[in-house]
Structure 1
Amino acid sequence: MSVNRSLLIGGDEVPAAGGRTTEDLNPHTGHVLAEVAAASPADVTRAVDAADAAFPGWSTTAPTQRRRVLSRAADLLEERAADAAALMAGETGGTLGWSMFNVGLAATILREAAAATTLPVGEVLAGDNPDALSLAVRQPAGVVAAFAPWNAPLILGARAVAAPLATGNTVVVKASEEAPLTCALFIADVLRDAGLPPGVLNVLTNDPADAARTAETLIADPRVRRVNFTGSTKVGRRIGELAARHLTPAVLELGGKNSILVLDDADLEYAVDAVAFGAYLNSGQICMSADRVLVDRTLADEFAARLAEKAKALPGGDPTDPHTVIGPLINAQAARRVAGLVDDAAEAGARVLSGGGAPDGAHYPATVLAGVTPDMRIHTEEIFGPVCTVLPVDGEDEAVAVANDSPYGLTAGIVTRDVTRGLGVARRLRTGIAHVNDQSVDDDPTAPFGGVGDSGYGRFGGRAGVEAFTDLRWITLQQRPKQFPF
């Protein structure tokens, strides 16, 4: 049985102009999970109106009150964990383990944002004028346009709004068309119940055909002073162009072609377990997922055989079954795209060691490829599915060169028994993130999270999140009258 949800504007649940709606589908069953409002440009303007009207009050609210709201929201999210996990499974096909991880990390993001509300907001500068007090002060930027994606909907939905709200901004969220309930409306419900005032957070849902127009209208509004986008590089490039046109600062966390480097001294069993986790968590639909495993040639054949055996044993199917590891992709089209990458590589000479074949609706098995060459699409394109490629390399220099031979630069893992050696390799990688003796998937709200190159720019987490959504101003207080030359 499907549910109906409206837009959230100014604290009220309101229908879209003209009463338009769009369907939200369950990727495992293909059935309609919900009917949600399909916003028009007029609705976008209404949402910005509400956020702009709420800004003066929220931006001057005591930091301790903002902290109270965000902390309470974290508690409520954990209390509603079972509901959140069920919703996420129905809307995105997330397995139970992945969904509960989303709940836990999203709650931590909210708590870290709460802690950031009382960080120092400026400093006294030494200055060159002994008669003036010179201050560098951070202030809320204004209305933030946030774009919440579907693949880690609770984590990335919370990240879309937490730091902006903590620093005194108001927010208009454009929800993903694939997960409007989990990535935006559920988070908004929790924050509202935690005491967030009306209009501080507004949610737009839209029909997929209207996505570009909705984004363009939102970013073009002169009252929007920050853009916060997480999603694909293709869409992120367009979002960045729109923001630049209006001189609006943006934080863009985009795609990745992430590598795990398995050095010649690696514990092979540990490396296989680490890679399987990094490649197949959430069916590989994470910006940090391991697409390429660069294995020292002396270990490559045995590593590939062991990884293939592990991949074959991973249970797939219904995401509501607690034993399922490989759930569906977000839709059948995504599964066909992934299958096409594998099929093209196999036709060009790559060896399918496990998985492969035709997708079953939105389902595709955990897949391992060997014999991949640079001329194959799968070598350079982000896979975003449960597939990884094993590439033999001759030593760590070649491993670093292959890892860096990509326009993306989000994250990487290095597996070695020598952490000092691993640190040296990590420093040579052109990625925003690198994990020594670990795989590529990790997140910590206290750390500066983000990539370089085609993986975007700007950082979330810790002090970086505060800086991203505030304006740094210089204010002086002249304590004694100045002497002017004329």
Structure 2
Amino acid sequence: MLKTLSQGESNTGFAAEIRGLLARLDVPAERYSGGSRIVRTPLTGEVIGEVAEATPAEVTAAVGRAQAAFEAWRKVPGPQRGELVRLLGEELRAAKAELGRLVSLEVGKIISEGLGEVQEMIDICDFATGLSRQLYGLTIASERGDHRMMEQWHPAGVVGVISAFNFPVAVWSWNAALAFVCGDSVVWKPSEKTPLTALAVEALFQRTARRFGGVPDGLLTLVLGGREIGETLVDDARVPVVSATGSTAMGRKVGERVARRFGRSILELGGNNASIVTPSADLDLALRAIAFAAMGTAGQRCTSLRRLIVHEKVYDALVGRLRVVYASISVGNPVTGDALVGPLIDGAAYDAMQQALQAAAEAGGTVHGGERIADAGPAEAYYVRPALVEMPAQAGPVVHETFAPILYVLKYRAFDEAVALQNGVPQGLSSSIFATDMREVERFLSAQGSDCGIANVNMGPSGAEIGGAFGGEKETGGGRESGSDAWKAYMRRQTSAINYGLNLPLAQGVKFDVDDGGLNP
């Protein structure tokens, strides 16, 4: 049984609904009851589960199983590995409604976003299935006669995946779908705030494995817990690749620890993303794009819009309209109503938001919104009105990422000034420009423009369409996941030269002739 709600907690029936969803997804009841880690929904603050956390010894054992699974799985031909991922996509399609709703209930997302996250998983399974027949190497011209040189890619080994609460399952799938078709096994540590969706995905993978047949035990292993569990996974030398999504502070620790043992990190970290609005922008289009980019998911996306850089000629027209939108946007429970902005994940997120707004006001900013909405939900839930903050300069909290719906607005005069503001923060994930002047668009996309891993035109800074590689530069970590050639991060490169002749020419014209008593002419 799930924990009985303590006095003052609001029981809206979500716990019972979640039990039903987990049962339909074949998650054993003992996996989400009776453990030491309490799970709450941000929608109401209600307890929705209790999970057992792994011990460091159990993580070490899990890596051992994953290593054995890798040694078997790497022998399976790539297209057959792709069939496993194709079947996983089928299971996700069949369970989309249940898993999507579970995402919304555990994270507090609007229903369409919960469903969209599962669709993203389906899409990456489709991509990875095709990729399983396209793990291409190269044939390289050799300077030596009767020689062939080639490059090929081999599975890397065990891949450790550390995912964040805001996309509890989609980001896992970006990593796991590619890792599986590349011949790797996966040990997954989800956010301690969102273990239930991870348990559901584990169950769907087990369904898939039974359909496929012959999947080695340990190909996917789930380890639940907090920092100590993550550190044990990161420090294990049998895990050559660690993909970690989270804060820059977390990523800096992960990167250092993995580098210490010469492992490889795929880091997806902070994103203090900006959009530039030029005088030629379509303001109606910009307004709609800005609203979703800044307020969607209650500002808890790594690609959320956090800085808006507006030309002085259109500043008053655009920002005046934005103030109206911010004052009227619907905030509340997106599962039981039609609100567009749901809750923050927890009280710590609310406190961080309030501290940032206070710092902005002290730095001369004019704050619109940002207050907690008491009647939007129970006292244990944290519903806030998104904040629009007009700043005199890019300083103080503006250069730091606060994982909350705060949009700082800055004014610019010259285009180069706007680009300098865009690039003048430590983070480098995503960016965008609203313009119909193609010279400004092309300059923004050039080597002299945005320094981010993602640069969009006439849309917000979102970058989750799976066909493209996702990731950023600077303190965002430099990692790439999902589409394009991101698959190479889950494999090891090998260059080979083959001599099919009778002579032994050396490269660069080096001569080293040895007379061993007649064998050398």
SS in 1 for 2:82: helix
Per-residue Cα deviation, 1:2-58 (whole angstroms, up to 9, x for no partner):
579xxxxxxx98999xx9631111112112111112111101111101101111221
Matched, 1:286 2:305: no
- Summarize deviations over 1:94-127 as a string: whole Å, max 9, x none: 1112111111112111211121111143122212
Question: 2:394 maps to what in 1?
Answer: 374
Q: Match of 1:194?
A: 208
- Contact 1:145 1:218 (C-alpha < 8 Å) held by counterparts: yes
Q: Mark the CA change 1:111 to 1:420 in structure 2 (over 3 Å): closer, same or farther.
A: farther
Give the match for residue 513 of structure 2. 485
Task: Tell me the amino acid that sits aligned with residue 513 of structure 2.
Answer: P
2:240 is paired with a residue whose SS is: strand
The DSSP-based 3-state class of the residue aligned with 1:288 is: coil
Aligned-pair identity in percent equals 30
Deviations 1:259-283 (A, max 9, x none): 0000011111211111111101101
Deviation at 1:131?
2.5
SS of equivalent residue, structure 2 residue 461? coil
Moved more, 265-274 or 368-377: 368-377
Q: Check conservation: 1:96, 1:322, Cα contact below 8 A.
A: no
1:256 equivalent among 252, 271, 282: 271
Q: Alpha-carbon deviation of 1:235?
A: 0.2
Q: CA deviation at 1:420?
A: 4.5
Please say which of residues 172-181 and 311-320 is displaced more in the overlay.
Answer: 311-320
**What is residue 334 of structure 2 aligned with on the other side?**
319
Q: Bigger CA drift: 282-291 or 452-461? A: 452-461
Per-residue CA deviations over 1:430-463 (Å, capped at 9, x if unaligned) read 1111001111113222212111100111212334
Work out whether 1:415 is the aligned partner of 2:434: yes
Decide whether the 8 Å contact of 2:101 with 2:115 is kept in 1. no
Letter of the structure 2 residue corresponding to residue 199 of structure 1: G
**Does 2:231 match 1:203?**
no
Q: Does 1:434 align with 2:455?
A: yes
Equivalent residue letter for 2:443: G
Is 1:447 aligned with 2:462? Answer: no
Q: Which amino acid aligns with 2:404?
A: G
Letter in 2 for 1:106: M
Contact kept, 8 Å, 2:273 with 2:305, in 1: the verdict is yes
SS of the residue corresponding to residue 459 of structure 2 reads: coil
Between the aligned partners of 1:364 and 1:415, the Cα distance in structure 2 is 28
- Secondary structure of residue in 1 paired with 2:169: helix
Structure 1 124/302 Cα, relative in aligned 2: closer, same or farther at 3 Å? same
The within-5 A match list for 1:224-243 is: 224-243=239-258
Are the counterparts in 2 of residues 20 and 39 from structure 1 also a CA contact under 8 Å?
A: no
Structure 1 position 372, deviation (Å): 4.4
Seen in structure 2, the aligned counterparts of structure 1 residues 194 and 419 have a Cα distance that, compared at 3 Å, is farther
Q: Secondary structure at the match of 1:47?
A: helix
1:299 to 314, 323, 326: 314
Query: Residue 357 of structure 1: CA displacement?
Result: 2.3
Look up the equivalent residue of 2:45 and give its one-letter code. G
Answering whether residue 492 of structure 2 is matched by residue 471 of structure 1, we say yes
Residue of structure 2 aligned with 1:109, choices 109, 120, 124 = 124
CA contact (8 A) 1:419 1:437 kept: no
Equivalent residues, number: 470
SS in 2 for 1:172: strand
Question: Per the alignment, do residues 404 and 166 of structure 1 end up closer, same or farther by CA in structure 2, a change over 3 Å counting?
Answer: same
Verify the 8 A CA contact 2:273 2:304 in the aligned structure 1.
yes
379-388 or 231-240, larger mean C-alpha shift: 379-388
| Aligned twin of 2:22 | none
| Secondary structure in 1 matching 2:470 | coil
Give the TM-score taking structure 2 as reference length.
0.86
Q: 1:419 to 1:34 in 2, by over 3 A?
A: farther
The alignment's C-alpha RMSD in Å is 2.1
- Please tell me the residue identity of whatever aligns with 2:128: A
For the 8 Å contact 2:294–2:405, the answer to whether it is kept is yes
Matches of 1:125 and 1:15, distance apart in 2: 55
Q: 1:140 aligns with which of 130, 148, 155?
A: 155
- Aligned partner of 1:215 in structure 2 is 230
Q: TM-score, normalised by structure 1?
A: 0.92
Separation in structure 2 between the aligned mates of residue 50 and residue 322 of structure 1, nearest angstrom: 45
Whether contact under 8 Å (1:25, 1:34) holds in the other structure is yes
Distance 1:189 1:420 in 2: 51
Match for residue 421 of structure 2?
A: 402
Partner in structure 1 of residue 199 of structure 2 = 185
Q: Letter of the aligned partner of 2:204 in structure 1?
A: V
Q: Does the aligned pair in 1 maintain the 2:373–2:384 contact within 8 Å? A: yes
Do the aligned residues in 1 keep the contact of 2:175 with 2:482 (CA within 8 Å)? no
Q: CA deviation at 1:340?
A: 1.9
Task: Determine which structure has more spread, i.e. the larger CA radius of gyration.
Answer: 2
> Which secondary structure state, in structure 1, belongs to the residue aligned with residue 488 of structure 2?
helix
Matched, 1:362 2:382: yes
1:174-195 C-alpha deviation (Å, 9 max, x unpaired):
111111222x322222222122
1:202-251 CA distances to partner (integer Å, 9 max, x unpaired)? 00001x3xx1x222221222211111111111101100001100100111
Amino acid of the structure 1 residue aligned with 2:132:
T
Residues 293, 471 of structure 1: CA spacing in aligned structure 2 closer, same or farther, 3 A cutoff? same
Q: Kindly provide the amino acid, as one letter, of the partner of residue 413 in structure 1.
A: S
Cα distance in 1 for partners of 2:484, 2:327 equals: 43
C-alpha deviation, 1:423, in angstroms: 2.2
Name the aligned partner's letter for residue 477 of structure 2: G
Q: 2:410 aligns with which of 388, 391, 394?
A: 391
Q: 2:312, 2:413 within 8 Å by CA — same for their partners in 1?
A: yes
SS at match of 2:201: helix
Higher mean displacement: 446-455 or 471-480: 471-480
Distance 2:316 2:345 in 1: 32
Moved more, 408-417 or 131-140: 131-140
Q: Which amino acid aligns with 1:223?
A: R
Deviation readout 1:278-328 (Å, 9 max, x if unpaired)? 101101111111101000011112211101111222211113135121101
- Given residue 414 of structure 2, which amino acid in structure 1 is its aligned partner? G
Using a 3 Å threshold, how does the CA distance of structure 1 residues 81 and 464 change in structure 2: closer, same or farther? same
- Between the aligned partners of 2:364 and 2:136, the Cα distance in structure 1 is 58
SS at match of 2:466: coil
Say if 2:35 and 2:50, in contact at 8 Å, map to a contact too: no
The aligned amino acid for 1:412 is S
Contact preservation (8 Å) 2:185, 2:220? yes
